[in-house]
Amino acid sequence: MRSLFLLLCALPLAAGAQTYRSDEHSFRVVKLVEGLQQPWSLAFLPDGRLLVTEKAGRLRVISQGKLDPSPVEGLPQVTVHGQGGLQDVVLHPDFSKNALVYLSYAARGDDGVGTELARGRLVGQRLENVETLFRQSPKGRAGQHFGGRIVFDRQGFVYLTLGDRGERERAQRPDDHAGSVIRLHDDGRVPKDNPFVGRAGWRPEKFTLGNRNMQGAALHPQTGVLWTHEHGPQGGDEVNVMRAGANYGWPVITYGVNYGIGTRIGEGEKKAGMQQPIHYWVPSIAPSGMAFYTGDKFPRWKGDLFVGALRDQMIVRLKLDGEKVLREERLLKGVLGRIRDVRMGPDGLLYLLTDEAHGVLARLEP
């Protein structure tokens, strides 16, 4: 870990980086790498290199602050369809022993395109022994709402977020993966204690239902519980705490309205038996990527939740008290562009990716 910290610290600094101030810290934004093509996610390798996914289906390597021109080989077949493509990249918790890399991506099947989860062993500049662990079923013809965030919990279970694929009613169907969080063993097996295992007509991989399109997910650093955020329609973006078997309401309840016409969706904002978000945004900010800050470089941010925003091109800092949001602060609006991912680095700093044709990897430093 010390070698990784030193290598990350050795990444080149941008001359004359501008200083910004939040309520509790001043910081500068340093652009580390430019020229990425619609990057979606990043992961920190133990040797100091970084892995970055590009939507078009490329897994890129950044070493010593330089983007390797040759992508990693051996990836599964990725379909670029609307919002879908190569999405998340996450290392297995025992990566130092098994070298396993997990990827989420859009893939084509007989019934359309849907999100899949695969893993492979990283050997040099290639993934070997790649295997598909999960295939969304049914897939779909629409080009939106693929979800795609991957998170491992402290017990080694892997979670995958799925969107409703642009067909809102699917999020409430027990026999449909869409609009759910999926929970699996690290090899793709279904855990026996998943909430719907053994229930007739239910997909056993499902951990939740009633989610619209979750593009942010992270474990709470104290409780180890999975948190997600999801896109609402016109308004109604949500931050939720994931509970086994819980129904998060879409499209029966929402704080958003129909695009353009502003009419109500479903039955209103609340309904018995359906979860309320701990925080929501009206109007929408289009959230993507999130991370809890757990480092020491910004001590007064410790425990805060940072959320990227595509629509408003910013990051949002949420000050928390348990599962209650005390206040919200909006930072870097319009400075970098559309923020696709937010990651906590092993060096105690926050890393950002921008969703642009010439995307940027940036770092927030004191």
Domain ranges of the chain: 2-365
The Cα 192–Cα 334 span in angstroms is: 46
The C-alpha torsion from 205 through 206 and 211 to 214, rounded to 10°, is: -30
Determine the pLDDT at residue 1. Answer: 47
User: pLDDT tens string for the chain (366 positions)?
Assistant: 444 444 454 454 444 478 999 999 999 999 999 999 999 999 999 999 999 999 999 999 999 999 999 999 999 999 999 999 999 999 999 999 999 999 999 999 999 999 999 999 999 999 999 999 999 999 999 999 999 999 999 999 999 999 999 999 999 999 999 999 999 999 999 999 999 999 999 999 999 999 999 999 999 999 999 999 999 999 999 999 999 999 999 999 999 999 999 999 999 999 999 999 999 999 999 999 999 999 999 999 999 999 999 999 999 999 999 999 999 999 999 999 999 999 999 999 999 999 999 999 999 999
Determine the pLDDT at residue 270. Answer: 97
Residue 234's DSSP bridge partners are 257
Determine the pLDDT at residue 9. Answer: 44
Residue type present at position 322: G
The CATH superfamily assigned to 2-365 is TolB, C-terminal domain (2.120.10.30)
pLDDT in tens, 138-194: 999 999 999 999 999 999 999 999 999 999 999 999 999 999 999 999 999 999 999
The Cα 151–Cα 158 span in angstroms is: 6
Candidate list 145, 177, 231, 279, residue with the active-site label: 145
What are the structure tokens assigned to 141, written together? 């013809």
Count how many residues are written for the chain. 366
Please confirm, yes or no, whether 145 is among the known catalytic residues. yes
Residue type present at position 260: G
The Cα 153–Cα 84 span in angstroms is: 25
